[in-house]
Structure 1
């Protein structure tokens, strides 16, 4: 390919090259043997309404004109046979202001640089392949067992009761892109991304494993009793609230023991990278407050969960029976959503259960009547409901 012509495909600074690429489909028509017949979506095939996109509607066909030109004006392959002495002039007469560029053999491919012409080529090749596949399906219906779909009873069940409306049905396999069975398969695949039955099964498996770890393996000590309630959030994700009562000799009463079972700090990434990633993924609250005043936990300008918590060098017992966990100011921060968060934003967790279940598990050690009363009330509070009374007239 001449260097000048290659520059027209690749040069991004020249206005001449830009005009050439813009009218490249016109130049291509000058040398084509057949006319490209298609209904183009003009709303997309225009740079005035966004990015130019070559989109066809309906069937694509290539028209071969007769050998003799109509009204003495040759076009397409007629140009190669009609009046060869004036071939260049005949080509120039088809389009106004169309410059002719010569291409030679052994030239580098510029197909990917052809922009609009490449879009036309890709669409044309795809439709040719699709038509070939459709012809195969039409001529090989026996291999697809289409007789099972062609019974008159099936037609009647579909609502067809007129003979003129019952014809030979061509069955397309699920492998044909865009066919009814392919679209149904894609719909089912999309629905599996949010299947509550699968979510519930995985959730139940993790609940059963969690109960086994707490009651049989006694990760917190021997269990005297436990109770839990399952709730479903508004978008369908289930969770449980569990109260575990340990036997007297296994109760965790000393604040020095709290840190053995519950942590409210970011672990050292160098020592335990997997636990660090799980804490960042599942156990970071917010951000809320001044970092995000529109977070769902914000009520009257305050976080209902009291985050961010204050730094604390050691775990102490709170006055209301709720412990204040150790949250040291170690200058470690992580990027969570839109902010950098530190230990003040960590939700208390048990490292072993977090690594085993790989989900949000908030673990707290509570003592005192206030905490027990709150827990039992929360577990047995029942479902959310609204009472509505409709009376006659305008009264509600």
Structure 2
């Protein structure tokens, strides 16, 4: 790596991270041109093969310890950045989205019975999961504003009956565990469901810019799905509260994983610039190229530092909503600049699929939208600025 992230992290996190990095570089990177990689993500056969290798190497679900406890967010960052060095790394190590965020949520909110039934297969790597929240924008459904949710749930005896449509549901195809959000008369609710279920129907898999997530991103019809009452996560009407528990750590873990991928892309671009000769000298000796790589180092270091800062905030027990919004905006925008420069430095090679630089560009571009577009987070931060001003002044702008 171009710099050693997490030098101040715990010894146990450093040891885990070292094993993860060695595993990714030695075992997983050679799979990056496997024929089982498709436009809608890696085949589940490949995912299970990679997880088998991670299990043998002792790096499967490395952020959750043998006793079920979770590494701190600061420690998690040290580990997940390494797992992100390949687009396949999070899949192999079981640190990918949405599973990583879903495991965190179930660990915090799930009942003992729910954790045994739904969480343990996820932690073991045997089951993938999906989070059913986003709805079709063309129908006015929930997207960046979850309060617009149209999917409904009603109590019928000892079951809840759910109806609605979902869209951009990552990994729904092939998932074994689902977390479905719907709206009751009390407010938002979350339900744990076994997949597949005939009441949850995939109408299509969307063609998207990214291709690293198994199952792709699906459009879903939910028609009279019946869920036993004991599979509600928490209580009716508290769904948005539980979403907040998941939200900030999930945003930050996106930053961690994609920082790892950007570091790898920069390694490849730097190697190319130092080897490639043009106009009598190495590309890196031309200021137009060398300065782009220098800017990359600056952006990567700034991403490292804001991730560390936000992780420390979360480790105090704070929800970290504001801090994770700031980190998500800063990191996604900076990493996109890094990926774009890597493509530019490598020229024609940068837009080919001979290396993962082209894929890194596509994946990181999508990151600027996933878990809330940059503009939504900035709007939320601007509202906080005004709210703080009003609270301090006791008045509003006229």
TM-score between both structures, scaled by the size of structure 1? 0.20
TM norm structure 2: 0.20
The structure that is strand-richer by fraction is 2
Q: Which structure has the highest helix share of the two?
A: 2
RCO higher in 1 or 2 (8 Å CA, sep ≥ 6)?
A: 2
